[in-house]
Amino acid sequence: MNTYTFDTKLDAGLKEPDTQTYRVRLAVTARVFAEETFEAQGEEAARKYVEALDPSDFNYTYSKSIDLSSDAERIVPWGGLGGQVINSWDPNALRAVSDFDMTHQFNMNWIYELPFGKGKLFGTSAGGALDAVIGGWQLSGLARWSSGLPDSITSGFTWSTNWQLSGGAVPMGKFNAKTTKHPDGTVTLFPDPQGPTGIGAFRQALPGESGTRNILRGDGYAGLDMSLSKRWKMPYAEGHSVQFRWEVFNVPNLTRFDVRTVATGLDAGDAFGTYGGLLTKPRVMEFALRYEF
């Protein structure tokens, strides 16, 4: 019999007359505990195999945040992410998903004791020397995935409505925002950044217009970190042990690009739509040998 425990939470805020932010959040957290009953032969070994997996934490969050401006109005010019009110006579003009809106988030972590060595599923009768080699290994991991953050196409260095803030661009037709790697090594937010579905799909805001905000999204984050470790207890003193650890960060060597580094101004020229940075880091391996006493 499997027992699953779920904790759910739903928060929904009502909008007051002077409030500019809506947030809806649904969080689901699951912790799985295995309780097994075996009647076939090998009952003891099978039970030990199940018990080797520590309770795993898995959580998923669905959320949506909408506001008029994600930046505080008190900040200095160009001090935030560019989500300020452009036209104070029409503060609702740039109502959109928040700059920090992240629709989906998944997180999971686990610790698994490998079933090798004395008293385990494999090598249950192993002697001291063999057990010291194959027994006591643990495999742990941390996985995370999220959907991408929103971003805007801007009018560049033009000030059609606000003397200090330029505002967003206005779509004239269908645009295609999809992270694309090109043969020359550049990576862009649009498959054809200089074409009709790229920069050609937008125009600069006209006097009185605020443009648009957060109408496209970039890559989400994805990562998988894992660790393999083993501990040897020293026979000459209680509490003395040696631990070996092999840790790998970003195991699949994933690349996810940061939408906040894209050249989104309509005056960016050939650089329009080009990424300038990553959300992820290249794969890194670390080896450690630690003596504890």
Q: Is the dihedral angle over the CA atoms 273, 147, 23, 75 positive or is it negative?
A: negative
Residue type, position 148, single letter: G
Q: Total domain count for the chain?
A: 1
**137 assigned to some structural domain:** yes
**226 assigned to some structural domain:** yes
Lowest mean pLDDT among 56-70, 84-98, 121-135, 262-276: 121-135
Q: Which of 73-77, 234-238, 284-288 has the highest mean pLDDT?
A: 284-288
**DSSP string across 224-282:** EEEEEEEEEE-TTSTT-EEEEEEEEESTT----B-GGGS--BTT-GGGTTB---BSS--
Which tops the pLDDT comparison, 85 or 37? Answer: 85
Is the whole model's pTM more than 0.75, yes or no?
A: no
- Please state the separation of Cα 185 from the chain's center in Å: 24
Give the whole-angstrom CA distance, residue 186 versus residue 222.
21
> 25 lies in which domain range?
1-67+104-146+222-255
**94 assigned to some structural domain:** no
Question: What are the tens digits of pLDDT across the range 80-119?
Answer: 655 688 888 898 999 999 999 999 999 999 999 888 877 7
Cα atoms found within 13 Å of the Cα of residue 17, Cβ hemisphere only:
0
**DSSP string across 12-43:** EPPPPTT--EEEEEEEEEEEEEE-----STTH
pLDDT of residue 9: 36
Calculate the alpha carbon distances from 221 to 1, 25, 76, 186 in Å: 35, 19, 30, 20
**250 assigned to some structural domain:** yes
**152 assigned to some structural domain:** no
**175 assigned to some structural domain:** no
| Token pair for 104 | 């989906």
Reference 216, options 267, 255, 168, 181; nearest CA is 168
Q: Is the dihedral angle over the CA atoms 84, 86, 90, 95 positive or is it negative?
A: negative
Question: What are the tens digits of pLDDT across the range 177-201?
Answer: 999 999 999 999 999 999 999 999 9
Question: What are the tens digits of pLDDT across the range 235-283?
Answer: 888 888 899 999 999 999 999 999 999 999 999 999 999 999 999 999 9
Cα atoms found within 13 Å of the Cα of residue 181, Cβ hemisphere only:
5
